[in-house]
């Protein structure tokens, strides 16, 4: 690996959260590609059964089995969809040698009980599987199987509860083995090798949820990583033009002359209609700038993730990954 200075060099577990609709799956995927670019093996994990990762990479739906989804430079990205039921069965097998009991457990509703109803147990199972992947070594004392794990985590509104597994189970399972399991998960989640990144859009509510989420995680003593600003569009107009346009003023005559010079028909009418687009755009940019200023309160490094006008595909993800590397994130 090169010696260039990257912000999250020491991290091995990158948790990616964000308000619903901000595009955290896309950003998590780009981050995984960026981490793999210099020869690493990276695991990208989803935990909500949404199958959001597979379409981005153009692969069939993921299962509870780590599978290569992309090559990145000399490295590779594998992906996994963690299902709480299967994690429970695996857990029972690993810790209790009880794989065969799964059928009986399911029949009596115990699987449903543990994975869907017993408060907190589901989250411990999901984070438990992620922690296992982070700690896994090819042989005892050998190197880690994964150089990094990227978790496409639940949205900001639920992230603190999701990661704060100790609190989740301490009120309930005070002594069971799930409690021991939770303690191990806690160790991984709180370690210096884990960071939680926030994805946001430059809009009021996503920024508010981002700031609230950062404060909440800090209060829990978790490491807050960077803020990834998604769907950023290139600045096309000069600041003076934007300021005037946000106030409703556009130099329609100059615009019409330009349109005429470009050979477009009816330049005056066209200029008037286009100036309406400029005003809307300028107001949007003004709102985005206010949002960006508010983000500064978090005092975290911010990275821009460009809007992919044509939708997200593998080529687009590689461009985003390259840009994250160029910005020094990873």
316 binds other proteins per the rule CB under 8 A: no
Window contacting other proteins (CB under 8 A); options: 4-12, 14-22, 184-192, 217-225: 14-22
Out of 9, 74, 177, 187, the residue judged to bind other proteins by CB under 8 A = 177
CA–CA dist 206, 295 (Å, integer) = 10
Are 163 and 194 spatial neighbours (Cβ–Cβ below 8 Å)? no
Q: Does 101 bind other proteins (CB under 8 A)?
A: yes
- Does the protein bind other proteins through residue 175 (CB under 8 A)? yes
Listed ranges 9-17, 46-54, 141-149, 320-328: which one lies at the site for other proteins (CB under 8 A): 46-54
Token duo for residue 282: 């300028």
| SS3 (DSSP) at 177 | helix
Least Å distance, CB 302 to other proteins, is 20
- Taking the complex as a whole, the smallest distance from the CB of residue 65 to other proteins amounts, in Å, to 21
- In the list 192, 262, 299, 315, the residue contacting other proteins (rule: CB under 8 A) is 262
Identify the residue among 135, 144, 161, 190 touching other proteins (CB under 8 A): 161
Residue written as token pair 């810790």: 95
CB of 270 vs other proteins, minimal distance in Å? 6
- Least distance in angstroms from the C-beta of 269 to other proteins: 9
* 118 lines the binding site for other proteins (CB under 8 A): yes
Answer yes or no: are the C-beta atoms of 48 and 84 closer than 8 Å.
no
State the sign of the Cα–Cα–Cα–Cα dihedral 33, 39, 40, 43: positive
CA torsion sign for 79, 84, 87, 89 is negative
- Residue 253 class from Cβ within 10 Å (0-12 exposed, 13-18 middle, 19+ buried)? exposed
- Alpha carbon distance 260, 166 (integer Å): 67
Q: How many of the chain's residues bind other proteins (CB under 8 A)?
A: 81
Q: Does 120 bind other proteins (CB under 8 A)?
A: yes
């Amino acid at each position: 690996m090169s010696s260039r200075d990257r912000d999250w060099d020491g991290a091995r577990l990158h948790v990616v959260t964000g308000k619903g609709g901000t595009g955290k799956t896309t950003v998590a995927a780009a981050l995984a590609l960026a981490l793999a670019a210099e020869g690493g093996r990276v695991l990208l994990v989803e935990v909500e059964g949404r199958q959001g990762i597979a379409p981005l990479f153009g692969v069939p739906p993921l299962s509870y089995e780590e599978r290569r989804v992309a090559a990145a430079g000399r490295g590779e990205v594998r992906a996994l969809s963690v299902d709480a039921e299967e994690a429970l069965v695996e857990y029972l097998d690993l810790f209790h040698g009880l794989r065969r009991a799964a059928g009986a457990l399911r029949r009596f509703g115990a699987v449903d009980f543990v994975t869907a109803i017993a408060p907190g147990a589901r989250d411990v199972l999901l984070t438990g599987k992620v922690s296992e992947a982070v700690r896994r070594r090819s042989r005892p004392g050998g190197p880690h199987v994964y150089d990094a794990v990227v978790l496409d985590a639940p949205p900001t509104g639920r992230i603190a509860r999701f990661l704060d597994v100790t609190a989740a189970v301490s009120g309930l399972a005070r002594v069971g083995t799930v409690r021991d399991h939770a303690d191990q998960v806690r160790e991984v989640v709180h370690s210096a090798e884990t960071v939680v990144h926030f994805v946001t859009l430059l809009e009021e509510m996503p920024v508010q949820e981002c700031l609230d989420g950062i404060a909440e995680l800090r209060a829990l003593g978790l490491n807050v990583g960077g803020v990834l600003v998604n769907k950023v569009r290139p600045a096309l107009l000069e600041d003076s033009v934007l300021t005037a346009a946000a106030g409703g003023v556009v130099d329609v005559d100059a615009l019409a002359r330009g349109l005429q010079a470009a050979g477009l028909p009816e330049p005056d009418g066209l200029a008037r209609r286009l100036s309406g687009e400029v005003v809307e755009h300028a107001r949007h940019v003004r709102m985005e700038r206010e949002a960006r200023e508010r983000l500064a309160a978090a005092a975290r490094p911010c990275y821009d993730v460009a809007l992919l006008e044509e939708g997200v595909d593998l080529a687009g993800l590689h461009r985003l990954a390259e840009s994250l590397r160029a910005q020094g994130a990873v």
